Amino acid sequence: MAEPTVFSLTTPIETHEGTITELKLKTPTARVFVKYGSPYSVIREGDEDNPRIEFKYHTKPMFAFIADMSGVGQEHLEDMSAVDVQPLFWEVVRILGDRPTKSKT
């Protein structure tokens, strides 16, 4: 299995187990898709010469994925700085094999 991806937080999160300054994101298994559904949808528009791909994030499943991937409880992730949310969502999409270019939330 691949090494976890490290995502540095701009603001630490306080948990029962101490302060977290980074999330170590492991690649999820299919079980997480079955349990929570997809954390995002891919919207393909345009044509071959002018393709456009957008990502629509599904916030609740995305946070469930991040909790599973990081081992940090969702109740603590909800205390994360809003500044970290979009870049963290992009990182999850990248880990899952897609490349975000523009998103709709």
Per the document, the length of the chain is 105
What integer pLDDT is reported at residue 102 of this predicted model? 47
pLDDT tens track of the chain, all 105 residues?
Answer: 678 999 999 999 999 889 999 999 999 999 999 999 999 998 888 888 888 888 899 999 999 999 999 999 999 999 999 999 999 999 999 999 876 554 444
CA distance 104 to 7: 22
Give residues with Cβ within 8 angstroms of 30, minimum separation 6: none
pTM (predicted TM-score): 0.84
Burial of 98 per CB tally in 10 Å (0-12, 13-18, 19+): middle
Using the Cα atoms of residue 8, residue 11, residue 65 and residue 56 in order, give the sign of their dihedral: negative
What integer pLDDT is reported at residue 100 of this predicted model? 53
